[in-house]
Structure 1
Amino acid sequence: MSDPSPSQTMWGFQHHFRISLDSAADRALDQIGAILSPDAFLVGFPSDGVDPAEVRLEAREGLARRFTAADFAEVSIDAKRRYEESPVHDLRFPSEEMHEARHEYFRDTARAAAVEAAMQQAPAGQGRTFFVGQSAPVGDFEVHPVLSVDSENIDALPRLETSSIDGVPLTVSLAHGIISELLRTATHALLAAKPPRTISPLEDDVPTDAIRRSANHLVFSTAMIAGETLAKGLFDSFEALASTAYEGRAGAGSVILASDGHPHVDVAVRLRVPISVRERLQFRKLLEISGPDLSLLVDGTTIYGLGGVSPEYDGSTEDVFRFSIIEQGIWMMSHHGSPLLRVANGHPQLPRPRMSPSLFVDSMRRVFASVSDDNIRSIWRLAQTAVGQSKGTMLVVTTAAAQEAKRLAPQALAIEPQTIDSALLRSLTKIDGAVLLTPDGTCHAVGVILDGIATGVGDPGRGARYNSAVRYTAASSAPCLIVIVSEDGMIDVHPELAPRVRPEDVEQALYDLETIGGAEDVNLESFYAARERLRVFAFYLSESQCNRANQVVARVEQQRFQQTGMRLAVVPFAPDPRMNESFFSA
């Protein structure tokens, strides 16, 4: 199988269609924080079935050359075997028309599975996981949309282990759901437009729609596992619960999703008449009763009481889920202590990973040049103690703690400087506000309300605590690091320092861009892919490296303009004033 050529063409716009699917996948997965490096493909089979071995492939340059005809030689035989061995093979339907339509779908599903297996097993597919959608007729071919992602990264994402209930497929993770939704969108586009040019006339809406539908079905999947098949509005119910205030107070509390009568759910209070989860005001009112040891109990459609999960539940049955309302507009879904989904102000995301001690140590050393290992361990222990609190807090670590305690005195409780241990911190953080410390762990004030300038750098999905930390660090002239502990037990630090990279990796990405852009006949897709790879290292580029990158981009864009008459707006590379040698690893 060679690079796409007239003999490989299925229809004139296949290249544009694949690029639109690739772009939508990249944007959608990036929005939820999943770095999966997606690649899109189109695999076509002749509609007449005369030569089932004649497979056509549309792929990014380089990937098409690595897959060969031999990789797909057994697809038709494998698909036939899968269909014949499947339980659906012997299913009968009321009418001949329905029978043929359903079995056509079953055969197509079997072929999609065979394509997935063939690409997975091919040498070109090593290290990648493939997902294949239903086919659609385009011209003389039946075309399957395909997405592949990095195997190691997708395997590391939080997910459900239960993938189906009574033959009904479930959404096992936000990322898996997005991929399924995009493939479904692509199949519909192949069916709808003749000839199909992109996966949607409104391409900017595709990633957002796919994310929302995936999150909705992920929540519905948990209800299915818990035994409720009518809980399609559950996602919207939790959205309303998190965003609705009660007597002026923002929501906070927890909900347990489990079947009524589950052997490992202890009911402390049972409602005489269950309340629908769609009763927003009643749902929000009951949330006020919940707390660390008492959760609302829902079965997917109704609230049947308050209680908790017994210690005997070991998670193996995967049928008890917890929904935590963290603060106004922010909620999280988890199973047996493992977060699966986080939604902030209507935007579904992957749960943020817990900060590792090594990353915390690196941040402390880079912000405070002379800090000792003992001091770092002391601050880390305090942060770990704060995680165990029922509400979040902030530890403001700054060399100017003494001066700041005086300056902020009207909005802070200044104390005689002293080192504090975990027991004392637990008491001091019972009041609202941050704790003000020097890097050696000496406390100067508690209940601190931070000030600062509006920077335009905040994140509306991260809540008030995070954004006040952003404003304060932006205004601070002294070395400062803020440890942010949220109600969901996550630890963040601000400023969020870019990770250390090797300077040779930065130079290699720039060299690749120059090499591809310097060719006589520039492949624009390869060039733009190289430019995006360099964007990953944009923070680390020096002024001279930025100039080199901008020169080659300008040259290629001028060639494009001469060939097509179209000019694209390009954001030039520029050196970041925050960059210094500390961001390079040895």
Structure 2
Amino acid sequence: MTVNPTPHHLMWELQEQFRLSLDRATDRATDQIGAIVSADALLVGFLADDVDQPGAPDVCIAPADRGFSIQDLEGIRADAQRRFEAHPAHDETYESVEVQQARLDHFLDETRREAVAAALDSGRAGRGRTFFIGSGARVGDYVVHPAISVDSSAYAELNALPYDEIDGVPLTTSLAHGIVVELLRIATHALLAARPPRSISPIDDDVPNDAIRRSANHLVYSAALIAGERLGQGLFDAFEGLSSTPYEGRVGSGTVVMAREGHPRISVDVQLRSAVSVRERRQFRKLLEMTRPGLHLLIDGQRIYGLGSVQPLAHDEPDDSDNDIFRFTLLEQGSWQMAYNRNPLLRVSSGHPQLPRPRMSTNLFIDAMRRVFDEVSDHDIRGIWMLAQSAAQQARGALLVVTTAAAEEARRLAPQALSIRPQQLSPEVLDAVTRIDGAVLLTPDGVCHAVGVILDGVATGAGDPSRGSRYNSAVRYTEASTAPCLTVIVSEDGMIDVYPELAPRVRPEDVEQALADLEAAGSLDVEGARDVDLEAFYALHKRLRRFAFYLSDSQCERANAVCLAIEDLRWERSRTRVRTVPFRTDPRMNASFFA
């Protein structure tokens, strides 16, 4: 058996273009949902059984420079065969020869995927990585399996469902997991459909968004399966409709609990005599209006059966006794979140699924206050933070505008604000003044000058269409402000954001080192330059991209020059180019961003 006799052995001519399209789609999709998992795409091929080609490698991996040795890969085919022969499918009875062959082909593919994952996991180059293997497809002389690996530690930190299958049905355990599985499915389909395959889709731009949305659908359906409902396929769309449907002009808010009827942890206070389908959007929205803190709408994944609450754990109950209870929180117009056991799994805003945002840390808030306001004291920062924390407990959101020009702005905005005698706000008073629409206008020392402020500001291109009106009005106002200004946006789910979102402080020597490493990896001035490791170069390119905000004009020129030289080399080698966005200086960058 041979394994990749040369680093550039091709299973088919366009394999690198195909692999790069899968790699780019995975990076874009995981970036969009906020999952930093350092994904990497691979292709693993088995020489087809009907091919007799002396010298052709029996197993190929592309790219061949990931560090896997012949010893890591040479036992894959034998391991796959052992797994297949031991599979219980051989002992089953089938209704026809055709069905039997189809099932055995399926299990042969499954055992090969298991063998590939086991080999890559156990190899030295696979340490710290988790591998997902897609179904195989015949391309020329090889049966090719697309694969995606992720950083194991980063992936393990993502909240996930407690089970990966129910009664043999595989589940989507997290949004990131679903994206990887969906992209592998798309890649396998492309391998089957195109001759020769050059990309996972003719319209690459649509692939990440489609994969994210399908993953979110599967994740919500997986939660319904855990809750005991097998007919919950339309649940994601039901919550999309619910979050966007007003009731008598009011935006919906409240909590929906999904658990089977009769669950021992569920206390039913109002039992509906006739259950209502979750697909009845207007009825669903009307019933949501009856919810209050501690009184939730109860569904089983398909039907609404009442209102009630989740009882606290008894002393003798295991901690996982509510693993089949899920909470859906309606946050604001077009925005909702799914969680289980206090672990948020999914947030959808304006139709865009993403990972729930982590709560802002005190350290980040302190850093932002000190960088925006030169002379602010620790006591003042603590006071503003306590107000933000108090607002986060109210479950209806708030907007605090902190500016050195609060007194002047209270007068300027008087027609659209309630100007008050300057005073410090207690948590109780803050609770009262945030019950009305509008922002609270404060100076950095916590003195309030106006409440119910309707913010102005011109559109600047900043903002986020997936966020609500509160966030985007804060962005417009802050961008238009000529005085030092920081807005604290508290959403209905208790999350705290600040704007401007300042890049973290870094050491200038770390930025320079990242650039120097890229230049060294892409150097064409030394003997052996033709053997530049392109994959290692682009890994360093991705690393430098994380420092892009901090680069000076001269550093951008150096980075762009080496990237252009490497692309010329790639064209010379394989007649392909990778289009990358040139590095450009950011006008917001200044010395305050250096530690």
Q: Which TM-score band applies after superposition, normalised by the shorter structure?
A: over 0.9
Aligned 8 A contact 1:36 1:153 in 2: yes
Identify which range, 300-309 or 459-468, moves more after superposition: 300-309
Distance 1:164 1:568 in 2: 38
Partner AA of 2:547 in structure 1: F
Aligned 8 A contact 1:509 1:530 in 2: yes
**CA shift for structure 1 position 264:** 1.1
Aligned 8 A contact 1:375 1:439 in 2: yes
Structure 1 residue 184 and structure 2 residue 194: aligned? Answer: no
**CA shift for structure 1 position 575:** 2.0
Cα 1:558/1:491, change in 2 over 3 Å: same
* Matching residue of 1:284: 285
Distance 1:73 1:555 in 2: 36
**CA shift for structure 1 position 374:** 1.9
* Matching residue of 1:433: 438
* Matching residue of 1:458: 463
* Matching residue of 1:207: 208
Q: SS in structure 2 opposite 1:240?
A: helix
* Matching residue of 1:582: 592
* Matching residue of 1:129: 130
Cα 1:379/1:85, change in 2 over 3 Å: farther
Cα 1:131/1:564, change in 2 over 3 Å: closer
**CA shift for structure 1 position 350:** 0.7
Show CA shifts across 1:533-565 (max 9, x none).
Answer: 333212101122123233434555677789999
* Matching residue of 1:476: 481
Distance 1:131 1:567 in 2: 27
* Matching residue of 2:386: 381
**CA shift for structure 1 position 110:** 1.7
Select 1:339's aligned residue among 322, 336, 344: 344
Aligned 8 A contact 1:47 1:142 in 2: yes
Structure 1 residue 326 and structure 2 residue 327: aligned? Answer: no
Q: SS in structure 1 opposite 2:588?
A: coil
Q: SS in structure 2 opposite 1:261?
A: coil
Show CA shifts across 1:482-537 (max 9, x none).
Answer: 11110011111111001122222211222233334441546666555544433321
Q: SS in structure 1 opposite 2:138?
A: strand
Aligned 8 A contact 1:315 1:335 in 2: no
Distance 2:59 2:577 in 1: 36
Aligned 8 A contact 2:3 2:60 in 1: no
**CA shift for structure 1 position 30:** 1.1
Identify which range, 392-401 or 76-85, moves more after superposition: 76-85
Distance 2:396 2:143 in 1: 55
**CA shift for structure 1 position 87:** 4.6
Q: SS in structure 2 opposite 1:119?
A: helix
Distance 1:26 1:167 in 2: 30
Show CA shifts across 1:351-381 (max 9, x none).
Answer: 1111111111111111122222222222111
* Matching residue of 1:350: 355
Show CA shifts across 1:290-309 (max 9, x none).
Answer: 23222221111111111221
RMSD between superposed Cα atoms in Å = 2.5
Q: Which runs of 5+ in 2 are unaligned?
A: none
Q: Which runs of 5+ in 1 are unaligned?
A: none
1:185-584 aligned at under 5 Å gives the runs 185-312=186-313, 314-519=319-524, 520-521=529-530, 527-555=537-565, 571-584=581-594
Distance 2:380 2:106 in 1: 64
Cα 1:445/1:499, change in 2 over 3 Å: same
Cα 1:81/1:161, change in 2 over 3 Å: farther
Q: SS in structure 2 opposite 1:471?
A: helix
Select 1:55's aligned residue among 50, 59, 63: 59
Q: SS in structure 1 opposite 2:456?
A: coil
**CA shift for structure 1 position 470:** 0.4
Identify which range, 375-384 or 163-172, moves more after superposition: 375-384
Partner AA of 2:278 in structure 1: V
**CA shift for structure 1 position 422:** 2.0
Cα 1:144/1:37, change in 2 over 3 Å: same
Aligned 8 A contact 1:55 1:69 in 2: no
Cα 1:488/1:88, change in 2 over 3 Å: farther
Distance 1:29 1:370 in 2: 39
Aligned 8 A contact 2:518 2:537 in 1: yes
**CA shift for structure 1 position 128:** 1.1
* Matching residue of 1:107: 108
Aligned 8 A contact 1:256 1:323 in 2: yes
Distance 1:411 1:381 in 2: 27
Q: SS in structure 2 opposite 1:188?
A: helix
Distance 1:411 1:86 in 2: 72
Aligned 8 A contact 1:162 1:318 in 2: no
Cα 1:428/1:459, change in 2 over 3 Å: same
Distance 1:188 1:561 in 2: 28
Distance 1:472 1:7 in 2: 55
**CA shift for structure 1 position 343:** 0.8
Distance 2:484 2:571 in 1: 48
Identify which range, 68-77 or 253-262, moves more after superposition: 68-77
Aligned 8 A contact 2:322 2:341 in 1: no
**CA shift for structure 1 position 249:** 2.5
Aligned residues: 582
Cα 1:563/1:424, change in 2 over 3 Å: same
Distance 2:572 2:105 in 1: 48
Partner AA of 1:431 in structure 2: I
1:148-163 aligned at under 5 Å gives the runs 148-163=149-164
Show CA shifts across 1:103-142 (max 9, x none).
Answer: 2211221221121121112111111111111112222222
Q: SS in structure 2 opposite 1:416?
A: strand
Show CA shifts across 1:214-250 (max 9, x none).
Answer: 1000000010001110111111111111112223322
TM-score (norm 2): 0.92
* Matching residue of 1:70: 71
Show CA shifts across 1:275-321 (max 9, x none).
Answer: 11111221122222223222221111111111221123855441111
Distance 1:322 1:38 in 2: 30
Distance 1:7 1:567 in 2: 17
Q: SS in structure 2 opposite 1:115?
A: helix
Cα 1:290/1:347, change in 2 over 3 Å: same
Distance 1:565 1:126 in 2: 33
Show CA shifts across 1:449-507 (max 9, x none).
Answer: 21111111110111001101101111112211111110011111111001122222211
Cα 1:6/1:459, change in 2 over 3 Å: closer
Q: SS in structure 1 opposite 2:473?
A: helix
Q: SS in structure 2 opposite 1:414?
A: strand
Show CA shifts across 1:80-107 (max 9, x none).
Answer: 4434555545333222221222122112
Show CA shifts across 1:315-359 (max 9, x none).
Answer: 544111111111111111111222110111111111111111111
